[in-house]
Structure 1
Amino acid sequence: MAGIFTMLLDIFQYFNIEYMTGLFKDNVGVTTGLVFVTCLGIWWLMRKPRGIPPGPRFTLPILGDMLSLKGESDLRVVARQLRKEHENICSVYFGSKLFIFLNSYDVIKEALVKNGDIFSNRPSMFWTDLLTQRKGIVMSDGQPWKEQRKFALETLREFGFGRTILEDKIHEEIGHFVEVIGQKKGRHFDMCRLSQKGVSNIISSMVYGKRFEYDDPVFNIFLDKSESMLQTIGHGSVLNVFPFLRFVPGDLFKYQSVLNDLDFIKDNIILPSINEHMKNFDENHVDDYISSYIREMKKVSKTGQPSYLNEDQLVSAILDLFIAGTETTSTTILWTILYFLHHPNIQSKCYKEIQNVIGSGRLPSIIDKPSLPYVEAVILEILRKANISMTGLPHAVSEDTRFHGYHFPKDAIIIPNVDAVLTDNKIWGDADVFRPERFMDSDGQIIKRDAMMPFSIGRRVCLGESLAKMELFLFVTTLVQRFEFIPVDADNLPTLRGVVGLTYAPVKYQVRAVPR
């Protein structure tokens, strides 16, 4: 104890605090000095950067504002609580991590669109850094991101993104999809894994140049491990705040489990396919993402110019395409079927419109979309109401920034709160109500709403938005055309409360698909 007193005395003498030095020469001075230093230390640890957006007042060292939030980890709930008190821009500390929420469409647009050059970075977060190593398309920054995104956009457009030539790949997969459902002969089944297989195969056909059979063991293990990995990351988000907890014995937060799943996916799916493409590469037959990437790597290598197009980046880009492309669309399909179970009248109206326009003799086509406004309105309302991306992917500023009079530190995690926009009664009137008609005018045509932003906006807008919209339209119209979806137990419908993971997904449920 005497050593501590001596150290404190030396500190006060160093800063020439004569009064405190004198106090330390007697017992009363020691006590007063300790209280002073303790209070000074607590203030130092609890202080917030000057000028940041408002939030909870009582911030603790290490824990941050977590006690004020009563242990709530769902970012949507946290943002809703804060928005009641602090309006459109607010902040909260999860541990030592500062989260800043943008809670209105106008503020999000101003940040991500008008100031996109500043707000387009990605923050460093434990799980995303672990999965991507800050490589690939989604979580990279700067020149690596620009190169990966530019290549991905150009290549995917070449393969049909946003154009009808992609429709053939989707139709092929839907054919297998409805065949499997038809084999159930109206018996109940779990739609979850089936929707994952169908959507993942569309990505596979573009990335690898082939699809998997639904009973392929490697394909099924890949889907199992992908689902497990994403659920773990969602449930174990505490590691983003306290990464040292990964060392707790027993792998409590399944850190090692995620590493093992990630290694399996890379070693048994991605790398073997890349190696096979490398071995059999023919620049005259480039018909998938991997072969196109290899061609570009070879082209850049010949020029001698520095580039971020390399095999490590390709592995991360493939992971991005599969995770983003499979999870979001397949989950939206699950929500669609679930809402049909709760609103059979809406399913009936969709079927009637499809019959009037298409009938039963041919598959729906993307050219039918303008003639099926009610179906499109239902899909839009599903995207709004289910809101599977919840708060959207996090952003960061490229430098310390002043925005709306507040200080945004460079290392802050900025959340463009999509949930706040899609549930805003000022925009939607009755946001809690499932009502597809909100997207239709008095003439029965689709109303385009700027605030309808389930894929985010700005430079980091979802790369696969056009593919997702095409997939959803073709899957939903074909499913309704071919089957009537009914509950297993009409008196005990599956819940509309979802599960928070990397996305907001329905609780797994059983359904019956009765052929029409």
Structure 2
Amino acid sequence: MSIYIAVHFLMDWVYTHPNLSAVVSLTSLLLWLSVRRPSNIPPNPWFIFPLVGHRPLLRGDPIEILRRLRKELGDVFSVYIDAQLVIVVSGMAAIREAFLIRGDEFHWRPNTRTCDLFHFGVICNSGKEWREQRKTTEAGIRHISPNIALLVRKESQQLIETVKEQAGNAFDPKIILHSAVFNALTSILTSRRMDYKDVRVEKAIERYEENLGLFSDSKFPNFFPFQKFLMGDFFDVKFLRINMTEIHQKIINPVYEEHKSEFDGEQVLDFLDVYLREIKANKNVEKTTIEEKSCQAVLYDLLWHGTTTTGATLYWAVLYILNYPDVAARARDQITDYLLQLEDRNSSAGAGDTSSPTGKIEIPAYFKAFIHEVQRCANICPLSMAHAVAKEKFLKGYRVPGDAVILPNLDSLMMDEDIWGDPEVFRPERFLNSDGKLSVPTEFIPFFI
């Protein structure tokens, strides 16, 4: 009898409070939709919070959390960040299938706020635009590749001189190392370099570092669906835009305009010349993305990602050298012998020889192993850029919806005990075979496929 009384009371309340009941019904519907899960998606934590998804479960070190979830759920699992389904792909088998064997299906970029900031370049693009930018970028890199070693060698000499100027005083090498990488890249891409003490270089590196941190931090928060309507800058997306605009105004745009004014359409000396030539060739092509704003965006992408990743690798190399003196001594002896051989060969070739400084002289295997181990242990890109699919696909038996965000988990390769045995130990010898020659496992992918 009591249940009938309760139903009668509820019906009477709805009838007498139509507006409030509509709000309650709509709220209940939204809450239900926010915890509703599509069928056959990759496994995820069983409890999901209304509206915010699994966000409360992801507080703390995201890499440690993903390692734990992988152990619990497998190589392909998912989490909900607010209303956004995020699929994490771990392990060599799953990563190889998704991004190498089926790369054409999984190469798309998701429609997120941070990716929208960079979508004119080659990093955050998809489809036809991405193919055009990649083709032109690869053409530019092929054109300059014969000169890369020589330009890097020249910049290395400048780096050595800059370190010597410190006269034995304590200093933080981070800015100097990043400046060296930045200048090597500007020389390769635009035939221009700047002084290490140039305030524009220091500011650009600071902004690049800030953007890297903000971009990494926003991998999860930028999925919040209503953030663009919020006042303020809770997720630092606007700060990202301000930093990017400053770098464009202070460095990218002036260099581009100067280069464009000097380019005659015939003499192609560097990457930027190649792109300007392609802009001219595509001038009358309809719906092409080979244009000025894309060229500037590609320069930004190459300078940003090249400076931060290579600069961080060098910085970590210095730290490992300081903490592992035996490893440092062995690597130093081998590279010193290698450089002496280069010097002898170049002396024999004559001062006018501008060919690649390596020739047939092989870089010592242990030194290569040292660099590989720095990249593995530093693990500076534990999560690669977010991917997506254009329409629904299946991966390892699970459904991948067209609106899902897909994160390649490179940490699952670089720090996996099943692959390396003792991944937390810095041991360059792991990359050498029994003959002392370099042997690199297929799972070693420091900067993605």
Task: Give the TM-score taking structure 2 as reference length.
Answer: 0.88
Alpha-carbon distance change, 50 to 176 in structure 1, aligned in 2, over 3 angstroms: same
Between the aligned partners of 2:361 and 2:38, the Cα distance in structure 1 is 51
Structure-2 change in CA distance of 1:88 and 1:369 (3 Å): farther
Structure 2 partner of 1:169: 151
Letter in 2 for 1:414: I
What is aligned with 2:184? 202
Q: Is the 8 A contact 1:126 1:239 kept in 2?
A: no
**Which of the residues 122, 130, 136 maps onto 1:151?**
136
Q: State the secondary structure of the residue aligned to 1:127.
A: helix
- Cα 1:287–1:222 shift into 2, 3 Å: same
Amino acid across the alignment from 2:126: D
Inter-partner Cα distance in structure 2 for 1:41 and 1:292: 52
SS at match of 1:90: strand
The Cα shift of 1:368 comes to 7.3
Question: Per the alignment, do residues 225 and 356 of structure 1 end up closer, same or farther by CA in structure 2, a change over 3 Å counting?
Answer: closer
CA 1:243–1:188: 2 relative to 1, 3 Å:
farther
Q: Does 1:325 align with 2:306?
A: yes
Structure 1 321/150 Cα, relative in aligned 2: closer, same or farther at 3 Å?
same
Q: How does 1:328-477 map to 2 (within 5 A)?
A: 328-359=309-340, 362=343, 365-367=357-359, 370-457=362-449
Report the counterpart of residue 106 of structure 2 in structure 1: 119
Report the number of matched residues. 428
Tell me which moved more, 200-209 or 368-377: 368-377
Letter in 2 for 1:139: C
Shift of 1:284: 2.5
Q: Is the CA contact 1:239–1:245 (under 8 Å) kept in the aligned structure 2?
A: no
Q: Which residue of 2 aligns with 1:93?
A: 80
Contact 1:246–1:253 (CA under 8 A) maintained in structure 2 = no
Is residue 48 from structure 1 mapped to residue 37 from structure 2 by the alignment? Answer: yes
- Give the whole-Å Cα distance in 1 for the aligned partners of 2:51 and 2:26: 19
Partner of residue 170 from structure 2, selected from 188, 196, 200 = 188
Does the 8 Å CA contact 1:246/1:252 hold for their aligned counterparts? Answer: no
Aligned AA (1:188): A
C-alpha RMSD of the superposition: 2.7
On the 8 A contact 1:92/1:100 being kept in 2, the answer is yes
The letter for the 2-side match of 1:122 is: R
**C-alpha separation in 1, matches of 2:122 and 2:422:** 36
Q: Return the alpha-carbon distance in structure 2 between the equivalents of residues 85 and 414 of structure 1.
A: 19
Q: Separation in 2 of the partners of 1:23 and 1:118? A: 57
Q: Deviations over 1:76-105 (max 9, x none)?
A: 223212111111111011111211111110
Inter-CA distance 410–39: structure 2 relative to 1 (3 Å threshold): same
CA separation of 1:121 and 1:246: change in aligned 2, threshold 3 A: closer
Q: What letter is aligned with 2:425? A: V
Equivalent residue, structure 1, for 2:55: 66
Q: In structure 2, how many angstroms separate the alpha carbons of the residues matched to 1:249 and 1:29?
A: 40
The answer (yes or no) to whether the contact 1:53–1:90 under 8 Å persists in 2 is yes
Superposition deviation, residue 237 in structure 1: 4.7
Q: Secondary structure at the match of 2:373?
A: helix
Q: Matched residues in 1 for 2:415 and 2:269: separation? A: 42
TM-aligned CA deviation for residue 402 of structure 1 = 1.6
How far apart are 1:231 and its partner, in Å? Answer: 2.7
Q: What is residue 354 of structure 2 aligned with on the other side?
A: none
Name the % identity.
30
Letter aligned with residue 122 of structure 2:
I
Q: 1:159–1:166: 8 Å Cα contact kept in structure 2?
A: yes
- The runs of 5 or more residues in structure 2 that have no matched partner are 16-20, 347-356
The alignment status of 1:274 with 2:260, answered yes or no, reads no
Give secondary structure in 2 for the equivalent of 1:379: helix
Q: Are 1:236 and 1:253, in contact at CA under 8 Å, matched by a contact in 2?
A: yes
Asked if the contact 1:239/1:246 (under 8 Å) is kept, the reply is: no
Change (3 A) 1:25 1:356: closer
CA distance in 2, matches of 1:247, 1:196: 37
Contact 2:83 2:225 in 1 (8 A): no
Q: How far did residue 253 of structure 1 move?
A: 4.5
Deviations 1:314-341 (A, max 9, x none): 1211111111111100000001111111
Q: Distance in 2 between matches of 1:369 and 1:326?
A: 28
**What one-letter code is carried by the residue in structure 2 that aligns with 1:106?**
A
Quick one: which amino acid aligns to residue 240 of structure 1?
Answer: N
Q: Distance in 2 between matches of 1:63 and 1:52?
A: 18
- The unaligned stretches of length 5 or more in structure 1 are 1-21, 458-516
Residue 212 of structure 1 aligns with which residue?
194
In the alignment, which residue of structure 2 is the partner of 1:142?
Answer: 127
Inter-partner Cα distance in structure 2 for 1:355 and 1:259: 44
Relative distance call for 1:57 and 1:358 in structure 2 (3 A) is same
Shift of 1:149: 0.5
